[in-house]
Amino acid sequence: MKTCKVIFAPSSKEVIVNEGSSILDAARTANVYIDSHCSGKGTCGKCKVRVIEGNVNPVTLNEIKFINESDRELGFRLACMTMVDSDLTVFLPGENIIKAKTADKLFSKRTDVNNPAVKSYYVELVSGKDDHSRSYLDEMKKYLYERYGLKDLDCDINALQSLVHTMKEGKGNATVFIWMDKEIISLRPGQDEKSLGLALDIGTTTVALYLCDLQNGEVISSGSVTNPQVLFGTDIMSRINFSVDHPAVGIKKMQTELIRSVNAIVNRMTEDNGVSNQQILDMTVVGNTVMHHIFLGIAPDHLGLWPFSPSVQESVNVKAREFGIRINPAAYVHVLPVEAGFVGADNVGVLLSETPYNQEEMSLTIDLGTNGEIVLGNKDTLLSCSCATGPALEGAHIVSGMRASAGAIEKVSIDPETFEVDYKVIGADDPNIENGDVIKPIGICGSGIIDTVAHFFKTGLIGESGAFNQNIKTPRLRKGHSGVMEFVLAWKDETATGNDIVLSQKDVRQIQLAKGALHGGCRILMSRLNITSIKKMVIAGAFGMHIDKENALTIGLFPWCEPENIIMAGNSAGHGAYLALVNIEKRNEADRIAKDVIHIELALEKEFQTQFMKALSIPYEP
């Protein structure tokens, strides 16, 4: 019988199965969890996946009930109803995570200043001329100048095309939306001032989006989804390589996948909140330099070569229709500036949020993610650098690793006497779990991995080198199928997959490499400013909100700082994008600070390799 290879993204796990097997069966064989309440009968619709490459059977009637036509065109199928006919690449998108404002705690703070780029103006036109001879545009511009002092206004083509119909429907009265007091971008008949905006944070692993009311700065809803670019590689270098290996086509594919994911979240948000995509009139974007370039459709190829210079560094304004983003087509998308090759607009967003450039006190700000970005300084001097922490801290390239979603082990403690494990699973205490089901663990996410490695050290399971102590006798410490030592966190009868959840010796090494790069980068900046200790630290990033400070310090993830002086700020990059959305002065501020920050290129620092090697030990000893 013919066999086929099935690759599952974003985990990059692969399996060989017989032709005719279902994708659901292939996933179970590969130890990849796909939710299926009906056990593969096609009646629950929970096992949605997206077939990216390869041949499968035609769509079944069962699937039409659960997957709309537009999603079917993108390759979405039910895993239990889809049969493997060739080698496949299958993407497990998971559900978009949408949160209402009442539950959203991704930002550490809001702003009281509300000065958006798009403002509304009510216009009442009175004319004795008949409809065939009057120039609505001239009259409107005259009214806006005389009433509001706005002059030399441009008018977007979409607004211009709807002008006559809008004014007739409103009987000469309309609400006019103007961008930066320069351009008319939208009109509505009568008085209707509802205007919305989007703040987008493009992370290497996760895309986060915030829907805001431009009139009062209120965050209406937030959403996040796995960045679909993981199909092309889990880190930024692999995506650069994909672009290099596929000239012109590679960048287009990565941009298209990103825009699709953004549109999917936008559609969910508008539906859930009873608003229209046409009411979204402004958008701000942050992301590391590679994500920034891919979003703009600029091949990031040169970022993989010295001197790692970005193609564009200053802020950019582009119409939403140019990207195919499903908001008002006349809306502008404002992309914040980048600092350097691998210190991007996301770090500018962090600086806008935390404002170390306005403070007397010296502070260390770390944005934890696949690409770790570090800033050290105060109002006098700011130094920044970027280090490739890799995706391990977010669960990728870890045997049982996964992103932080329902079923992930997020907290771990190990008894020093018995080596028994106590863990907490995301979603286990969710009151909205259907039918009172108990959520069993599927894998382990970044915060749980850090906890585990810290407890390995505290209990003596590993030493300073990170190697397992094979003299310890416990059934949880064993040799895995590949001969590599591993520790069992959850036995197979406890899990949703029916397989043990483990952390292996190779996994520990991955964490050591990630923390070595991050800690080493911090030490280089500290040496530049002749600082031997850190008095204040800010940990940015949604991932940072969930890590245990004590455990992170135990493994030496970053330099020592008194735990009470470590602030977990949440998604500061996204917060910076939000600030730039609701206050145009923050855009000017972003342009200024992006130029003022002094970037340190770690690849040129002779001492970095020494600091990196020192920081591999657990804990780090300076």
At 466-519, the pLDDT tens digits run 999 999 999 999 998 889 999 999 999 999 888 899 999 999 999 999 999 999
Contact 8, 14 (CB under 8 A): yes
Q: Let me know whether 44 and 180 are in one domain.
A: no
Contacts 24+ apart (CB under 8 A), 371-375: 371/204, 371/235, 371/236, 371/288, 371/290, 371/342, 372/517, 372/518, 372/521, 373/288, 373/342, 373/343, 373/344, 373/346, 373/347, 374/518, 374/521, 374/522, 374/525, 375/347, 375/350, 375/351, 375/597
pLDDT in tens, 514-528: 999 999 999 999 999
Beta strand pairing call for 316-319 and 154-155? unpaired
pLDDT at residue 475 in the model: 96
**Residue 554 is assigned to a structural domain of this protein:** yes
Domain identity same for 380 and 528: yes
pLDDT (0 to 100) of residue 103: 31
User: Minimum mean pLDDT among 124-138, 334-348, 418-432: which range?
Assistant: 124-138
Would residue 110 count as lying in a domain? no
Over residues 194-240, the pLDDT tens digits come to 999 999 999 988 899 999 999 999 999 998 888 888 888 878 888 99
Look at residue 166 and tell me if it is in a domain: yes
**302 C-beta neighbours (distance < 10 Å), count:** 17
Asked if residue 226 and residue 133 are part of one domain, the reply reads no
Do 54 and 43 fall into the same domain? yes
pLDDT mean over 246-251 = 94
Which of 159, 189, 219 lies at the terminal end of a domain, its last residue? Answer: 189
Q: Say if residue 550 is in the same domain as residue 597.
A: yes
- 122: domain CATH number is 3.10.20.880
Gap between the Cα atoms of 93 and 261, Å rounded: 10
Same domain for 485 and 372, yes or no, is: no
Residues 231 and 135 in one domain: no
Give the pLDDT mean for 14-21.
92
Joined tokens for residue 294 = 């891919």
Residues 204 and 331 in one domain: yes
Instruction: Tell me which of 172, 189, 206 is where a domain ends.
Output: 189
- Residue 119 CA to residue 136 CA, distance in Å, equals 20
- Span 293-309, average pLDDT: 89
- Number of domains forming the structure of the chain: 5
Which pLDDT belongs to residue 102? 33
Condensed to tens digits (0 to 9), the pLDDT of residues 148-163 reads: 999 999 999 999 999 9
Question: Given pLDDT bands bounded at 50, 70 and 90, which one contains residue 173?
Answer: very high
Pair (523, 387) in one structural domain: yes
DSSP letter assigned to residue 353: H
On whether both 428 and 480 belong to a single domain, the answer is: yes
Whole-number pLDDT of residue 16: 94
Exposure string over 335-369, b if 16+ CB within 10 A, otherwise e: bbbbbbbbbbbbbbbbbbbbebbeeeebbbbbbbb
Are 368 and 380 members of one domain? yes
Predicted local confidence at residue 603, as pLDDT: 85
Last residue of a domain, one of 468, 489, 504: 504
State the average pLDDT for the chain.
89
Over 80: is that where the pLDDT of 403 sits?
A: no
Q: Are residues 52 and 142 in the same domain?
A: no
Residue 97 reports pLDDT greater than 60: no
Rounded mean pLDDT, 389-411: 81
Residue 603 lies in a domain: yes
For residue 95, pLDDT over 80 is answered with: no
**Domain, as residue range, for 230:** 98-102+195-335
**104 pLDDT above the threshold of 50:** no
Answer yes or no: is 113 within a domain. Answer: no
